[in-house]
Amino acid sequence: MDPIEPAFSTGPLLLIAAAAIAVLLFLVMKVRLHAFVSLTLVSLLVALITLPVDQVVTTLLDGFGGTLASVALLVGLGVMIGRLLELTGGAAVLANALIRAFGEKRAPLALGVASLLFGFPIFFDAGLIVMLPIVFSVARRLGGSVLLYALPTAGAFAVMHAFVPPHPGPVAAADLVGANMGLTLIVGLVLAIPTWYLASYLYGLSTGRRIVIPVPEDFTGDDEDRPRPPALGTVLLVLLMPMLLIFLNTGMTTLATAGAVDDGGLLYKVLVLVGQTPVALLITTLVAMVVLGRGRFSRKRVEDIANDALGPVCAIILITGAGGMFGGVLRASGIGQALADSLAATGLPIIVAAFVIATALRVAQGSATVALTTTAGLIAPAVAATGGLSGMDLALIVIAIACGSTVLSHVNDSGFWLVGRFLNMDAKTTLRTWTVMETLIGVVGFTFAFLLSLVL
């Protein structure tokens, strides 16, 4: 599509952007209109105001389809892997092995490390539900406040869900700002581990000693139909395979850039191909279906598990696509360039602006997904208009957006009530524990990302 001459100058374009966000918040918060419909409607209104009529639908569809092309594939495959691991009891196998390895005195650390590993393919809410019965069992056996064990566990899933593909947040943000998915995964993992240790593990130990919450009754019953759990090696194979394949891609590309390997050779091309994030996840999904399903589920049951896993993420995928649509309209209308010029004039680094905008949207309406996709859509045109950004810069901007969409989880966030209900905490106690931890995760993670952006 040929570039479209902006219909307005910088001032009116920025006012249109501000009005669009205000309308979006009004629709989501007051009208209670679904975020997917709200984003689509606001995108259409902005397009009608700023673009020629014959370009409106094309711009909307290009933004929506371009985002879904990568996001839907990664999220869909990732959730299938997570569901297979969840239903086979792999979480208990890994958690028990780590507790034996670390020792009972370090049980919170072991549970947190297990949750970090399971947090790669399993979404936050599903992962928490799978791990909490294990957390409760360990807490009853060892004693002390359940927060000692639950906060490091919940924080691990929260960090991985926010920082690391194939979770929809970082996948959507990386796609919208044009960051390399493999590099984003590596950077997300590198930052997720120290962020979790400081903001979740150490905080969980401190809070668990100050605030004593008795172990709740287990909310799951005995499942007599649960299959024989997989071996520890099988669980580790499924968890580590996609990361190793993606690391292989990134490593080969780095070696080729340094001239250490021939980038025209067949072996190089094959290794780079299998390490592309969608291909790596597809290979892992196929392996998981075989090694986890064999002897436990029929082929029909494996098919049903994969199919059922997709249902809960359809809304997330559509919201993410609508965020891409919003970003496409902002780019085509010239709003992104106007925002980039304004940021340059204020001297505010784009990574800081991304964090601040995501934080404001998160606090205002509660949904991390809406905050993340809206911020990424708004920032993406400004990123494209800003010259000199490296692949590392783009990956760190993705982390900054994710951090902003994590902080200050409070009463308008479903995750706030999920954690509070499962741990039998009232709203005040949940604010003192979960909200503080989520805010620490966002602030600590952003601090790491910002410092790296200054030195790399």
Tell me what pLDDT residue 399 has: 95
pLDDT at 117: 87
Report how far residue 365's alpha carbon sits from residue 320's, in angstroms, rounded to the nearest whole number.
16
Q: Which two tokens stand for residue 91?
A: 């979480």
Token digits of residue 142: 């060892």
Name every residue whose Cβ is closer than 8 Å to that of residue 222 and which is 6 or more positions away in sequence: none
Question: Residue 88 CB: number of other CB atoms within 10 A?
Answer: 25
Q: Which of 422, 394, 446 is nearest to 198 (CA)?
A: 446
Amino acid 109: pLDDT: 93
CA distance readout (Å), 105 to 98, 108, 142: 12, 8, 9
Residue 424 has a CB neighbour count (10 Å cut-off) of: 13
Residue type, 396: L
pLDDT digit string (tens) for the chain, length 456 residues? 445 666 677 788 888 888 888 888 888 878 888 888 988 999 999 999 999 998 999 999 988 888 787 678 887 888 888 788 878 888 778 888 888 888 888 989 999 998 998 888 777 877 787 788 788 888 888 888 999 999 999 999 999 988 988 788 888 888 888 888 888 988 999 999 999 999 999 999 999 999 999 888 755 544 445 678 888 888 889 888 888 888 787 778 778 877 777 777 888 888 889 888 888 889 999 999 999 888 888 889 989 988 988 887 787 788 878 887 887 887 788 876 777 677 666 777 889 989 988 888 888 777 777 788 888 888 888 888 777 788 899 999 999 999 999 998 887 777 888 788 888 888 889 889 999 999 999 999 999 999 999 987
Is residue 225 classed as helix, strand or coil in its secondary structure? coil
Under DSSP, is residue 67 helix (H, G, I), strand (E, B) or coil?
helix
**Distance of alpha carbon 437 from alpha carbon 151, whole angstroms:** 8
Angstrom CA distances, 254 to 186, 393, 449, stand at 13, 17, 21
Q: What is the three-class DSSP state of 179?
A: coil
User: Helices 107-118 and 232-257 meet at what angle, rounded to 10?
Assistant: 60
Q: Give residue 219's pLDDT.
A: 53
> What pLDDT shows up at residue 442?
95
Query: End-to-end alpha-carbon separation of the chain, Å?
Result: 35
Domain boundaries, the chain: 62-218+298-455
Distance CA 404, CA 390 (A): 21
Residue 343: what pLDDT?
65
Task: Give the torsion through C-alpha atoms of 192, 442, 81, 252, to 10 deg.
Answer: -40
Burial class (CB in 10 A: 0-12, 13-18, 19+), 317: buried
CA distances from 230 to 158, 241, 287, 350, 425 (A): 25, 16, 13, 46, 34
Of 83, 98, 137, 107, give the one whose Cα is nearest residue 232.
98
Q: Are 153 and 131 in contact (CB under 8 A)?
A: yes
Instruction: Give me the pLDDT at residue 69, please.
Output: 79
pTM for the model stands at 0.78
Phi, psi of 166 (to 5 degrees): -95, 25
The pLDDT, as a whole number, for residue 119 is 84
The alpha-helical segments, DSSP class H, found in 335-435 are: 335-346, 350-365, 368-385, 391-404, 414-422, 427-430
